Structure 1
Amino acid sequence: MSSINFNKSALVALDTLKGISKNLSEVQSQIATGKKVDSAKDNAAIWAISKVMESDVGGFAKINESLNLGASTVAVARAGAEQIEGLLEDMKGLIIASQEEGQDREKLQTDIDRLNDQITSIIDAAQFNGVNLLKGGDTVNILASLDRSASGLATSSIRVDRQDMMAAQVVDTAAGVYAAGTGGSAATLNATQSQDIAVGTPTAGVAYSIGLTGTDADSSAFVPASYTTAGTATGAANIAYVARDGDTAADVAAGLAAAYADYVAANSLDTDVLNVTADGDTLSFTSGVTDGTDTIAVRLDTVTSDDNVAKGAVYDAASINVTTSEGAAAALGTIERAIQATVDVAAEFGSAEKRISNQMEFVGRLMDAMKAGISALTDTDMEEASARLQSLQVQQQLGVQALSIANASPQQLLSLFRS
């Protein structure tokens, strides 16, 4: 049945054409913007995910800047430590030369003093953006990552410890908790003339000290006062080593043996009366003169205080004096310890720099992967859009023709009323 009031065919053709036009408009928008999800109305879930990921990409870009700044700061410190190690090697050559009789030790000492001045200059200058990792201060934390979890967003950092290379060792003799060695940390040299004391697991910041008590009624074998340290915190500061973070028992033992050697040199003592050496994590005490009545009690004391300060890697090098035979001999041990400590500092910074570099590489790859993921979620597939555009354009043309035919069908009714 045909009706002049309602044209069903035209209505169907019109609805079809509207749908085609809508799809065509969407495809044209996707091609123009390059986005298949450009706003929340396009796909709310995908749009929300992409916006969170874009925010994280922006955060990682700032983290990458932080890592670059941190890497430069650590690189400057590492270069400074490596340069100092080279200067210490030069100083070692001068000290070795001073061992030979007939050398002009005064001129050698002048050269050593100039090297020490240069070391101080390098330490002062080894700063980047106002941060000097070769001088004292708080630990530096370099922003390294964003960690997203179900509970929220958090950050993580790479910790770089400052290395105060010129720090003067301080044992807090006023407020510190002093503990005299007893039991397994104390022994007496008499007829045996040899005793060992194990250091045990050290604690960073604790000052470990060798305590001595000499007994000789007539002072025939030695002067007791020369081999006696007061049984107080003040006495514990005489032959001491403040443990650093990461020190082993062997490090503490070696530090105490070196401190005793300095004590002997400073007080012109005889190592035949008492000598202290380190064997791994054990201190060995030996004497060639003690007996049943002439004794030296030895012990491992400790001072616990937040105000204890571990000495810097090159602190002892500044006091080297080769103008005397005794000083030249003692300088060999001092320079070896300074070189090893400086090598450790440079290695520590090198390790931190490598970790930062690895993190920078990871963050870069992570940002690339996130950008690729965002693109896959939101960007238009241009090849698909092109093919779809052409298809919709053909459908639109056919729809227009179909609507034209449908609109023309009522005209056929007029022929029924012609005479």
Structure 2
Amino acid sequence: MSSILTNNGATAALQTLKNINKSMGNVQEQISTGKRVNSSKDNAAVWAISTAMESDVAGFKKVSESLSLGQATVSVARQGAETVADLLTQVKEKVVSAQEENVDRAKIQTDIAALRDQITAVVGASQFNGQYMLENTGTAEDSGGINVLASLDRSFSGVSSSDIRVSKEDLSQGAATAGSVSVDASLGNTVVAGESNDVATFVEDTAGGLTTGNTYQFTSGGNLALSEDVAYVAREGDTLEDVTNGLVMKLNEQAAADGLDVTFSQSDTGVGTISMTNNTDADIAVAAGEFQQAALDGSEDDGGIGGRLEVLASMDVSTQAGTDSALAVIDGLIEVAIDSAAAFGSSEMRLETQADFVSGLTDALKSGIGTLVDADMEETSARLQALQVQQQLGIQAMSIANSAPQSLLGLFR
């Protein structure tokens, strides 16, 4: 039935053309944005996943920036520690030269003082953006390091961050001051002439582990005639072995300065035990209770955490006793600098590895997001051309449908 009031053909053609135009609008949006999922109305599930992943990508960009800053900071510290090791090697050359009696020890001491000042300058300059990694002097509260943001970890319970801890490696020459000593942890023994024996031992804090700021002290007793007490203040990251080695180095320095023909070392018995070798012709008794440890409690009696190159500040080769004392400790100082540089090197390598991982992970996340939301441009192009043909046909069909009522005029002629 033909009607001039209702053109069913035009109505059908119009609806078809509207659908074609709507599809063309979607395709054109995909072409202009490069995405097939631009908002939650396109695909709510995919949009939610991609948006969460995009937030992770944004977070990992900040993680990369943090790792870059951490790498730069640790790299500066490593360079500084390596330079200190080189300068200490030069100090050792001077100390060895001073062993010869027919030399001008005063001039050698002047050279050592200049090298010592240069080490201080290097330690002071080894900072990045105000973060010092080679200085840790002061009280226990000043000790520490840096936490470098390393990753974001997503789980069912939420998102958490993880850090890479880089501890300071103190290479300053500040003097340590012992805090209140209250706990004995001594062994005490007689060391027969020409032999070695354990003379002192200690354990980790009763609370478990070593606490930054704890003082470990060896006081002279028996007929071991040390003119001064020897103290070591634990730093962050110190192990029982670090404390033992620190005390051994100071004991050897003090013994040489006092003209005692004895040598201290870390005992084979176990970590935390110090052995003494008696190079004299007489037995030496070390009284029990002469080796002590105490935790600092934040009171005025607390000690200051000295630099690990503390003994360098008092090194003086102008006398034979001073020369012997310097020779007894210089290798230990070099080892401290080498260990510090190695620790920074390991941390820098870890940061670089993590930075590479984060970069690769970010690329993988971006690729995954692209797989979810990016438009297939080849398919989109073919779809656009097909819709353009359909649009032309729709317009033609619309024109034909609109002209159909005109044919009814012929029936009334």
Q: TM-score range by the shorter chain?
A: 0.7 to 0.9
Equivalent residue number for residue 76 of structure 1? 76
Task: Find the residue that maps to 1:156 and give its secondary structure.
Answer: strand
Larger Rg: 1
Q: Structure 2: which 5+ runs fail to align?
A: 137-141, 205-209
Aligned 1:152-167 pairs, distance under 5 A = 152-166=158-172, 167=174
Q: 1:151 to 1:248 in 2, by over 3 A?
A: closer
Aligned 1:69-148 pairs, distance under 5 A = 69-136=69-136, 137=142, 138-148=144-154
Counterparts of 1:277 and 1:152, CA distance in 2: 51
> TM-score, normalized by length of structure 1?
0.82
Task: Find the residue that maps to 2:132 and give its secondary structure.
Answer: coil
Q: Which moved more, 1:409-418 or 1:45-54?
A: 409-418
1:46-83 CA deviation, whole Å, 9 max, x = no partner?
33333333333333223322222222121111111111
Equivalent residue number for residue 63 of structure 2? 63
1:305 aligns with 2:296: yes
1:191-215 CA deviation, whole Å, 9 max, x = no partner?
998642574654244333334432x
1:95-142 CA deviation, whole Å, 9 max, x = no partner?
111112212211111111110011111111112212221112442222
Q: Which residue, out of 127, 143, 149, partners 2:155?
A: 149
Q: 1:296 to 1:75 in 2, by over 3 A?
A: closer
Asked if the contact 2:234–2:305 (Cα under 8 Å) also holds between the matched residues in 1, the reply is yes
Counterparts of 1:325 and 1:284, CA distance in 2: 25
Equivalent residue number for residue 215 of structure 2? 207
1:405 aligns with 2:376: no
Amino acid aligned to 2:344: F
> TM-score, normalized by length of structure 2?
0.83
Asked if the contact 1:204–1:242 (Cα under 8 Å) also holds between the matched residues in 2, the reply is no
Superposition RMSD in Å: 3.0
1:236-269 CA deviation, whole Å, 9 max, x = no partner?
x812333444445444443333322222233334
Equivalent residue number for residue 311 of structure 2? 316
Counterparts of 2:152 and 2:294, CA distance in 1: 41
1:150-188 CA deviation, whole Å, 9 max, x = no partner?
333332222222233223222203xx5x21235xx3445
Amino acid aligned to 2:184: A
Q: Structure 1: which 5+ runs fail to align?
A: 215-223, 230-236
Percent identity, aligned pairs only? Answer: 46
Counterparts of 2:81 and 2:323, CA distance in 1: 25
Equivalent residue number for residue 261 of structure 1? 252
1:370 aligns with 2:370: no
Asked if the contact 2:255–2:325 (Cα under 8 Å) also holds between the matched residues in 1, the reply is no
Equivalent residue number for residue 175 of structure 2? 168
Counterparts of 2:116 and 2:55, CA distance in 1: 51
Asked if the contact 2:218–2:230 (Cα under 8 Å) also holds between the matched residues in 1, the reply is yes
Amino acid aligned to 1:302: Q
Equivalent residue number for residue 357 of structure 1? 352
